[in-house]
Amino acid sequence: MRQSEFVTHPNDIPIIGISYHNIPPREANLPLKCYHTLRITYVRQGRGVWRIGDSDFQIEQGDIFIFNNSEFRAIRTIFPPDHLQLTVIDFEPRLIWSDPTGISDSKELKLFFDRRISGFQNRIPADAPVSCQLRTILEEMEAELFAKLPEYQPMLIVKLMNMLILLNRHFSDSLDQSPEAPASHGQFTLISRIMQYIDDHLVEDISREHLADHFHIHPSTLSKLFSYWNGLGLNQYISRKKIYVAVQLLSQRDLSVLDIAIRCGFNNTANFYKAFKRVTGGVPSDYR
């Protein structure tokens, strides 16, 4: 079972989401999968094994797992008798670095992107001091989403920032503290416009050359800036974003798989199924 709630841009593109997963015991050699979002996962119940890249990590109740948008993983083992219950926060990096209020800072994402950080390998054990604080904030986010009081959407973003700050404080001894070259406002504006264009034209065949020509920038410069601010390449982002949107559309029973494939920029179901399998490790029916 998978249930989701999303906070969106004004143009209805989801940029932060909370989803709930209830997975029965299993032992399966599932393919590793990856998403275009950054992810914070709270293990509410159950035990298992998470395959992340070439390593296996024990899953225990109360653990927190942190993933960036280039790490492939799969939960291959869930020990009986309990189901594995997860609460997942998904968000795009631009939610942080493009914050017009100036409160957010791209440095808060260093823990996600810099895997040279010593002592951090995706899993924060349940008994770590910061785990209790993160779980409390996560539960507060769920309460905000459930109640939907006025201004609940910006409140969710504030609480996410609180979590990121706590994570960076906890790993501050391992984080690289050397000052970074400040990014120009022009870079923020340009990459934000490019990502908005991708959102608005997701149904189309968007190439790097087309985007470079449209925004009057050299293709290699576009690729370099996009990867720097988003943690993955342009083509990877577009492919995973299309499948991410497709997963949300699959909850609408009145849309056929072909309808969804076309809405997400695929000209036939064969290409859609191939991309869907590559990104999620499953097939569309798994999400219906």
Once rounded to an integer, what is the mean pLDDT over residues 124-135? 94
**Per-residue model confidence as pLDDT tens digits over 232-259:** 889 988 998 899 889 888 878 889 999 9
How high is the pLDDT of residue 10? 45
Structure tokens at 110: 């260093």
pLDDT digits (tens, 9 = 90+) for 62-77: 999 999 988 999 999 9
Look at residue 14 in the predicted model and tell me its pLDDT: 55
Is residue 11's pLDDT more than 50?
A: no
Q: What is the mean pLDDT of residues 23-47?
A: 92
Q: Considering only CA atoms, which of 124, 123, 121, 95 is closest in space to residue 108? A: 95
Question: For the residues 19-48, what does the mean pLDDT come to?
Answer: 92
- How many helices and strands in the chain, by DSSP H and E? 10, 10
Q: Is residue 131 over pLDDT 90?
A: yes
Percent of the chain with pLDDT over 90: 42
- The dihedral over CA atoms of 98, 155, 202, 283, expressed in degrees to the nearest 10, equals 130
Q: How far are the Cα atoms of 16, 75, 114, 115, 165 from residue 145, in angstroms, in the given order?
A: 12, 27, 30, 31, 21
**Tens of pLDDT, residues 72-115:** 999 999 999 999 999 999 988 888 776 544 444 557 787 887 76
Question: What is the rounded distance in angstroms from the CA atom of residue 33 to the CA atom of residue 277?
Answer: 9
Distance, in Å, from the CA atom of 15 to the CA atom of 33, rounded to the nearest integer, reads 20
At residue 119, the pLDDT reads 59
CATH H-level, domain 185-287: superfamily: Homeodomain-like (1.10.10.60)
**Model pLDDT for residues 145-158, shown as the tens digit of each residue:** 888 889 888 888 88
Superfamily of domain 2-170: Regulatory protein AraC (2.60.120.280)
Structural domain boundaries of the chain?
A: 2-170, 185-287
Kindly report the average pLDDT of the chain as a whole number: 84
Cis, peptide link before residue 25, omega less than 30° from 0: no
The predicted structure's pLDDT at residue 252: 81
Query: Which pLDDT value is given to residue 182?
Result: 46
Q: Which residue has the higher pLDDT, 205 or 81?
A: 81
User: What are the tens digits of pLDDT across the range 38-57?
Assistant: 999 999 999 999 999 999 99
Per-residue pLDDT tens over the stretch 139-189: 999 888 888 889 888 888 889 989 999 988 888 765 555 445 445 557 777
- How far is it, in rounded angstroms, from Cα 55 to Cα 52? 5
